[in-house]
Amino acid sequence: MSAFTTEDLFKIMRECAGEEEAVDLSSAAAEQEFALLGYDSLALMEAISRVERGHGITLPEETLGEALTPTAFVAAVNAALADRMPAAGAA
């Protein structure tokens, strides 16, 4: 499975907030806090739910409180994806 990217997250965030693709969610936005980007905790909870369902993972409850930026959120998703992958050589 491929890694979850900031572009994947931004697509989900646009859908959650009903924003158009024209909203500037550039690579610089990936380092800004969600609150500064105009996303509240409800939008983040919806994004978490969509990511969990779409990727078959469960994110730790702390994710909402600790992943304050898109970069941190993507890292948390990728860590959860890596945790669910079988170890190399495992049968």
Note the pLDDT tens digit of each residue in 74-86. Answer: 999 999 999 886 6
Cβ count near 62 (within 10 Å): 9
Structure confidence by residue, pLDDT tens digits, 38-74: 888 888 889 999 999 999 999 988 887 889 999 999 9
Per-domain boundaries in the chain: 6-84
Domain 6-84 has CATH 1.10.1200.10: yes
pLDDT attached to residue 83: 86
84: burial class by Cβ within 10 Å (0-12, 13-18, 19+)? Answer: exposed
Q: In this predicted structure, what is the pLDDT of residue 62? A: 84
CB 84 within 8 A of CB 56: yes
Query: Which pLDDT belongs to residue 41?
Result: 84
- Residues with Cβ within 8 Å of 3's Cβ and at least 6 positions away in sequence, in order, are 78, 81
| pLDDT band for position 33 (cuts 50, 70, 90) | very high
State the pLDDT at residue 79: 92
Tally of CB atoms within 10 A around 5: 14
Instruction: Report pLDDT for 50.
Output: 94
